[in-house]
């Protein structure tokens, strides 16, 4: 069969996780927590299953969960969201992103995205006949070059996809970024998708600035997030999309035929958990300790790095240590130092190799310490 996605193979997350398993290496590649979620949350799922909540949920999500998301948004961003009309529960952020892209993009439309870019955006754009327009983020902090963005916007631009806190760099958008974006899209038929799955993982003096907080951006935005990151449940695949009523209506037309609805007992469990637990408020401090522990150890490895501003990823530079490509080094470290990472070139369309690796520090302190010891004792040079 002639492929609709000829250049797409297995994702690097699957490739590196598989290699880590085969090599018996510590897996700091694919981004998922290495520890379990709260047993209370697990018990709530069992409770709702036993109570008989085992059939389809309403298409747009269980009302209790949508109310709980509205309440969380009220608490964290001090804004009002209409739970009935503006929130749709999805099967992970992946589904939310796919549905939003499909709802907006028509054949020939241009979609601006920033690279390094998370890998699920491009295939979704291409399956809708859209043309991805990649704009490189500016090294070393991976901030946005707004003059470059202005120069790429034209009559065909229909959508801009942003991601804050950013995977893989951890860059967190500033209020200037929001204002610049608002200036560019004002009075133009351009929509926005904001991937905010790391919304509750932001460090130091930084603050997560959702596109929802900016009135001009909010009216054009699909804001996508996930409970996978927030409650250590990446395997549950429960996410959501917040968008104005008219955009949510179009989003739901796609969601209705993509998955129709999301696991009922999981939605009810998360809804009840959100009512009584403000766990997401403690998440930044929890991960900041892990980032600090990891960065302290990294100082002895020879890698260069700047501590991540957000997300549960830490990038490192290695160009001064070896001429290997990032992919070669990631494989070599998995095989020889027994620590798996993600090469950054995979987040670039033309496999640009900035000579950087990404490590996931969402692991127990003991596992992080073991990984660091293995990286420190491994001779990177030569």
Which chain residues interact with ligand PMP by CB under 6 A?
Answer: 31, 92-94, 118, 163, 167, 195, 197, 226, 228, 234, 237, 239
Q: Least separation, in Å, of the C-beta of 101 and ligand PMP?
A: 12
Q: Which is nearer to ligand PMP, 228 or 354 (CB)?
A: 228
Query: Any contact of residue 13 with ligand GLN (CB under 6 A)?
Result: yes
Cα(258)–Cα(214) distance, integer angstroms? 30
Query: Any contact of residue 31 with ligand GLN (CB under 6 A)?
Result: yes
What are the φ and ψ backbone dihedral angles of 318, each rounded to 5 degrees? Answer: -135, 5
How far CA 293 is from CA of 53, 175, 287, 298, in Å, comes to 42, 29, 10, 9
Q: Which is nearer to ligand PMP, 94 or 301 (CB)?
A: 94
Beta strands, E only, the chain: 26-27, 87-90, 110-115, 131-136, 157-163, 191-195, 221-226, 239-242, 313-317, 339-340, 342-343, 356-360
Q: Closest residue to ligand GLN, Cβ-based?
A: 31
Binding partner of 30, given ligand GLN, ligand PMP, none, CB within 5-8 angstroms per partner class: ligand GLN
Binding partner of 11, given ligand PMP, ligand GLN, none, CB within 5-8 angstroms per partner class: ligand GLN
Q: Give me the residue label for tokens 């389809």.
A: 56
Query: Any contact of residue 286 with ligand GLN (CB under 6 A)?
Result: no
Q: Which is nearer to ligand GLN, 228 or 265 (CB)?
A: 228
Binding partner of 228, given ligand GLN, ligand PMP, none, CB within 5-8 angstroms per partner class: ligand PMP
Binding partner of 195, given ligand PMP, ligand GLN, none, CB within 5-8 angstroms per partner class: ligand PMP
Q: Least separation, in Å, of the C-beta of 382 and ligand PMP?
A: 34
Return the exposure string of 153-163: e unless at least 16 CB atoms fall within 10 Å of the residue's CB, then b. beeebbbbbbb
The tokens describing 75, both together, are: 């608490």
For ligand GLN, the binding residues in 36-55 under the rule CB under 6 A are none
Q: Least separation, in Å, of the C-beta of 224 and ligand GLN?
A: 13
Are 172 and 165 in contact, with CB atoms under 8 Å apart? Answer: yes
Query: Any contact of residue 11 with ligand GLN (CB under 6 A)?
Result: yes
Binding partner of 163, given ligand GLN, ligand PMP, none, CB within 5-8 angstroms per partner class: ligand PMP
The tokens describing 36, both together, are: 């379990």
Residues 6+ apart with CB under 8 A from 228: 32, 92, 93, 197, 234, 235, 236, 237, 238, 239
How many residues are recorded in the chain? 382
Q: Which is nearer to ligand PMP, 127 or 153 (CB)?
A: 127
Does residue 36 sit in helix, strand or coil? coil
Q: Which is nearer to ligand GLN, 11 or 373 (CB)?
A: 11
Return the exposure string of 294-328: e unless at least 16 CB atoms fall within 10 Å of the residue's CB, then b. bbebbeebbbbbebbbbbbbbbbbbeebeebebbe
What are the φ and ψ backbone dihedral angles of 169, each rounded to 5 degrees? Answer: -85, -20
Are 113 and 143 in contact, with CB atoms under 8 Å apart? Answer: no
- Per-residue x/- mask for ligand GLN, residues 162 to 201, rule CB under 6 A? -----x----------------------------------
Are 329 and 343 in contact, with CB atoms under 8 Å apart? Answer: yes
Judged by CB under 6 A, the number of residues near ligand GLN is 5
Q: Which is nearer to ligand PMP, 90 or 301 (CB)?
A: 90
Binding partner of 239, given ligand GLN, ligand PMP, none, CB within 5-8 angstroms per partner class: ligand PMP
Residues binding ligand GLN (CB under 6 A): 11, 13, 30-31, 167
């Amino acid at each position: 069969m002639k492929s609709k996605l000829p250049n797409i193979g297995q994702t690097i997350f699957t490739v590196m996780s598989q290699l880590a398993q085969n090599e018996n290496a510590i897996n700091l590649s694919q981004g998922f927590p290495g520890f379990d979620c709260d047993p209370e949350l697990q018990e709530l799922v069992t409770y709702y299953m036993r109570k008989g909540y085992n059939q389809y949920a309403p298409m747009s999500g269980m009302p209790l969960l949508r109310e709980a998301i509205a309440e969380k948004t009220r608490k964290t961003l001090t804004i009002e969201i209409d739970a009935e009309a503006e929130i749709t529960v999805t099967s992970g952020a992946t589904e939310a992103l796919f549905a939003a892209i499909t709802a907006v993009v028509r054949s020939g439309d241009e979609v601006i995205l920033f690279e390094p870019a998370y890998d699920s955006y491009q295939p979704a754009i291409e399956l809708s006949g859209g043309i991805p327009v990649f704009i490189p983020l500016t090294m070393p902090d991976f901030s946005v070059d707004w003059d470059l963005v202005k120069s790429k916007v034209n009559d065909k631009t229909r959508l801009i996809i942003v991601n804050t806190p950013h995977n893989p760099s951890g860059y967190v958008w500033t209020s200037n970024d929001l204002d610049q974006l608002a200036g560019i899209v004002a009075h133009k038929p351009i929509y926005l998708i904001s991937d905010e799955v790391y919304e509750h993982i932001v460090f130091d003096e930084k603050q997560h600035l959702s596109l929802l907080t900016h009135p001009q951006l909010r009216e054009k935005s699909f804001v996508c997030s996930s409970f996978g990151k927030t409650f250590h449940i990446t395997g549950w695949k429960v996410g959501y999309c917040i968008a104005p009523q008219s955009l949510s209506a179009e989003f739901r037309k796609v969601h209705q035929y993509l998955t129709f609805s999301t696991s009922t007992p999981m939605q009810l469990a998360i809804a009840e958990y959100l009512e009584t637990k403000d766990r997401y408020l403690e998440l930044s401090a929890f991960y900041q300790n892990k980032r600090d522990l990891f960065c302290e150890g990294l100082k002895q490895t020879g890698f260069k790095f700047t501590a991540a501003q957000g997300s549960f990823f830490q990038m490192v530079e290695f160009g001064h240590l070896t001429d290997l490509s990032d992919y070669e080094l990631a494989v070599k470290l998995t095989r020889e130092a027994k620590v798996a990472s993600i090469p950054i070139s995979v987040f670039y369309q033309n496999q640009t190799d900035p000579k950087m690796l990404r490590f996931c520090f969402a692991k127990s302190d003991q596992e992080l310490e073991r990984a660091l010891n293995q990286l420190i004792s491994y001779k990177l040079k030569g």
